[in-house]
Amino acid sequence: MNDKTKIRAGIIGAAGYTGGEIIRLLLMHPHVEISFAHSNSNAGKYIHEVHTDIYGDTDMKFTSIFESSADVLFLCAGHGEAMKFMNEQNLASHTRIIDLSQDFRWRESKWNFVYGLPELHREEIQKAQYIANPGCFATCIELALLPIASANLLKNPIHISATTGSTGAGQGLNPTSHYSWRSNNLSVYKPFEHQHLFEIGQSLVSLQKDFDQPIHFIPQRGNFTRGIFTSVYTNADISAADANELFQSFYQTHPFTFVRNGTIDLKQVVNTNKAMLRVQKFAEQLYIECIIDNLLKGASGQAVQNMNLMFGFEETSGLKLKSVVF
């Protein structure tokens, strides 16, 4: 039965990893009901036939029919598909859009998408109709660098090494996502030219207008399924104590981002919408570690966080999740 007090959400591309995570989160959300889960290739199937872990949670089926009356749409289709969708559909004037692809993260368009990193653009997100959800690597790296940019301290080249789990490659099969290749293996891909570099630079410039330093980014494929572990270092004129105070102050009003004094590891954040950071100083080098779950804070969890802000819900609604720990 339709609960009139709840908003109606639709998911485009609901059979993939990010679509599945959106479904899991919204099924437990106190203020949302799922209006439809769209998938052309799985239309007519029960959702739990594809996302088998939600068996018993819903008897909904995938549909190939787009319902334009939804209050919010999550676009979880592949890159390029969101732009096509926006051009082809006649959307209701009240419908909010949260796009999880890269189609609108740095492109100007007639729809005025807001870059959806709450730690950077919370007030803009609260007023927005269209949100471009950040990339997973971009989220993790930006959280490691935004406080420094806010203090105008990014005066030297930035060096980044970040390792992501296999789910970061999406659900489609390719040679580097097979278990037999990924297991007991580690590799680098797209060194110095990853597609998330542009949005990272754009976010840093929004805080430090004169930022013009190179960002040397080495992405790696890790031998695990979920999570991103990022290491960043740059020469910065700030003490360790002042750096920690800067980070604590910058994130003190953000409920999912935490600055830790001790060791951080992926199991502290996997299956949560949290980001954890550690800040240290070695000689002239400021060294920052940041960890997130690539499918949650790096994608679907952040999308729901953005939805909460857009509709005036408590920012943490539906996102108080337990980490795997062991």
pLDDT computed for residue 2 by the predictor: 47
Over residues 85-98, mean pLDDT: 91
Please say if the pLDDT value at position 3 is more than 70. no
Does residue 324 lie in a domain region? no
Nearest-angstrom CA–CA distance, 96 and 127? 11
pLDDT of residue 324: 87
pLDDT at 241 over 50: yes
Total number of domains in the chain: 2
pLDDT at residue 109, rounded to an integer: 79
Catalytic residue flag (residue 76): no
Residues of the domain holding 92: 7-133+299-311
Share of the chain above pLDDT 90, in %: 83
Q: Are 20 and 50 in contact (CB under 8 A)?
A: yes
- The β-bridge relationship of strands 275-282 and 285-292 is antiparallel
Annotated active-site residue in 76, 136, 140, 290: 136
Distance of CA 237 to the CA centre of its chain: 30
Smallest Cα–Cα separation from 70: which of 25, 38, 100, 104?
38
Q: How far is residue 33 from each of residues 18, 20, 25, 165, 321, measured CA to CA in Å?
A: 18, 15, 11, 30, 19
pLDDT digits (tens, 9 = 90+) for 200-219: 999 999 999 999 999 999 99
* Domain shared by 90 and 215, yes or no: no
Q: Which of 3-7, 39-43, 258-262 has the lowest mean pLDDT?
A: 3-7
Same domain, 16 and 120: yes
Question: 158 and 86, same structural domain?
Answer: no
| pLDDT band, very low/low/confident/very high, at 72 (cuts 50, 70, 90) | very high
* pTM score of the predicted model: 0.94
pLDDT bin (cut points 50, 70, 90) of residue 5 is confident
CA-wise closest residue to 17 among 301, 292, 230: 301
Q: Is the pLDDT of residue 174 over 90?
A: no
φ/ψ of 49, rounded to 5, equals -75, -25
Residues 117 and 238: their CA atoms lie apart, in Å, by: 26
Residues 212, 219: Cα–Cα separation, whole Å: 21
| Whole-angstrom Cα Rg for the chain | 19
pLDDT category, 282, cuts 50, 70, 90?
Answer: very high
Rounded Cα distance between 30 and 199, Å, is: 32
Query: Which SS3 state, helix, strand or coil, does residue 212 take?
Result: coil
* Eight-state DSSP code of residue 318: T
d(CA 63, CA 46): 9
Same domain, 164 and 269: yes
Judge whether 227 and 289 are in contact, CB under 8 Å. no
> Which of 117-131, 169-183, 235-249 shows the lowest per-residue confidence on average (mean pLDDT)?
169-183
Average pLDDT for the chain: 93
Residues 154 and 178 both lie in one domain: yes
**142 and 276 share one domain:** yes
pLDDT at 172: 59
Same domain, 238 and 103: no
Q: What pLDDT does 240 receive? A: 96
**99 & 144 share domain:** no
65 and 153 belong to one structural domain: no
Whether pLDDT at 64 is above 80: yes
Q: How confident is the model at residue 107 (pLDDT cuts 50, 70, 90)?
A: confident
CATH code of the domain covering residue 177: 3.30.360.10
Are 104 and 183 members of one domain? Answer: no
Kindly state the average pLDDT of the residues 248-262.
Answer: 97
Q: Is the pLDDT of residue 62 over 70?
A: yes
Does 127 share its domain with 156? no
CA angle 186, 286, 155 (to 5 degrees): 105
The answer as to whether 77 is a domain residue is yes
Name, in order, each residue with C-beta under 8 angstroms of 62's C-beta and a sequence gap of 6 or more.
14, 15, 37, 38, 39, 42, 43, 44, 45, 46, 47, 50
Q: What is the pLDDT of residue 1?
A: 34
Region 274-298 average pLDDT: 98
* CATH code: domain of residue 60: 3.40.50.720
Mean predicted confidence (pLDDT) in 158-172: 83
Domain membership of residue 1 (yes or no) is: no
* CA 321 to the chain's CA centroid: 16
Kindly state whether residues 109 and 179 are assigned to the same domain.
Answer: no
At residue 312, the pLDDT reads: 97
- What tens digit of pLDDT does each residue of 27-50 get? 999 999 999 999 999 999 999 999
Q: Could you give the C-alpha distances from 15 to 48, 78, 180, 295, in angstroms and in order? A: 10, 12, 24, 14
Under a CB-based contact definition with an 8 Å cutoff, are residues 215 and 203 in contact? no
